[in-house]
């Protein structure tokens, strides 16, 4: 098991551009009422920095670790989704929703199906149903179904991220903690978006959504560093 202190020392410097880009976003705080390519770039910049964070470990690392590669591709779709959501009031919210749906499928695939952790899955399924029940009265048209599918995907991703989480004992690994924490923050961010868009205005929603979102993406990217599945193990698992 790698010590969290070792992780901070080795990975912290690679995350400095991400923290700087996140600060730039919150300091500039460009108004949502005037969407532009500049505001899209500023919003996506922290995610671009997470691309660089993973690429800093070498292209060979991504090529030999399917889980890390899927998280990298998930970050690519996240950036596209962020750009679409800049123009959500101009009719691009659905496009952003689709991009993040793909992101959650990629993250769930990266986290894998072992261990299965059925109790965790049942808990996430119950929470997903309760969440959709809150949204449902406020949904109309295609969103009635699309939000339901999206909630199911987010719940599935959360299940797979938390399935391998061990807080005590010899099985404890910081990568699982990062994945689980990142998934939880992503769920919180998405739920807040849903409440604010479909149900009622959430005070300080933008600051809360973006802070939890950026933290979630950073933790998920960090979880890829000590990848669970080198390509040899991946091929063996597929052959079984």
Nearest to 152 by CA among 126, 115, 118: 126
Give the model confidence (pLDDT) of 100-121 as tens digits.
999 999 999 999 999 999 999 9
DSSP class per residue in 105-131? HHHHHHH-S-S--HHHHHHHHHHHHHH
Give the model confidence (pLDDT) of 132-183 as tens digits.
999 999 999 999 999 999 999 999 999 999 998 876 665 567 788 999 999 9
Segments making up each domain of the chain, as ranges: 4-228
CA separation, residue 167 to residues 76, 171, 180 (Å) = 30, 8, 11
Packing angle between helix 37-55 and helix 66-86, nearest 10 degrees?
170
Full-model pTM: 0.92
Can you tell me the distance from the alpha carbon of 167 to that of 169, in angstroms, rounded to the nearest whole number?
Answer: 7
């Amino acid at each position: 098991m790698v010590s969290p202190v070792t992780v901070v020392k080795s990975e912290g410097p690679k995350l400095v551009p991400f923290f700087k880009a996140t600060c730039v976003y919150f300091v500039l705080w460009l108004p949502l009422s005037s969407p532009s390519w500049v505001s899209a770039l500023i919003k996506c910049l922290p995610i671009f920095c997470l691309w660089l964070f993973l690429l800093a470990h070498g292209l060979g690392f991504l090529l030999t670790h399917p889980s890390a590669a899927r998280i990298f591709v998930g970050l690519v779709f996240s950036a596209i989704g962020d750009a679409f959501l800049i123009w959500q009031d101009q009719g691009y919210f659905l496009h952003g929703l689709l991009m993040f749906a793909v992101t959650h499928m990629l993250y769930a695939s990266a986290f894998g199906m072992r261990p299965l952790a059925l109790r965790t899955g049942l808990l996430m399924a119950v929470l997903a149903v309760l969440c959709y029940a809150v949204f449902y009265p406020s949904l109309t048209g295609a969103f009635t179904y699309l939000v339901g599918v999206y909630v199911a995907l987010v719940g599935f991703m959360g299940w797979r991220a938390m399935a391998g989480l061990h807080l005590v004992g010899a099985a404890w690994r910081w990568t699982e903690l990062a994945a689980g924490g990142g998934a939880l923050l992503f769920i919180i961010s998405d739920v807040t978006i849903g409440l604010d868009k479909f149900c009622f205005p959430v005070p300080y929603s933008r600051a809360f959504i973006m802070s939890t979102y950026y933290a979630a993406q950073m933790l998920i990217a960090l979880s890829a560093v000590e990848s669970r599945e080198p390509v040899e193990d991946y091929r063996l698992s597929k052959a079984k």
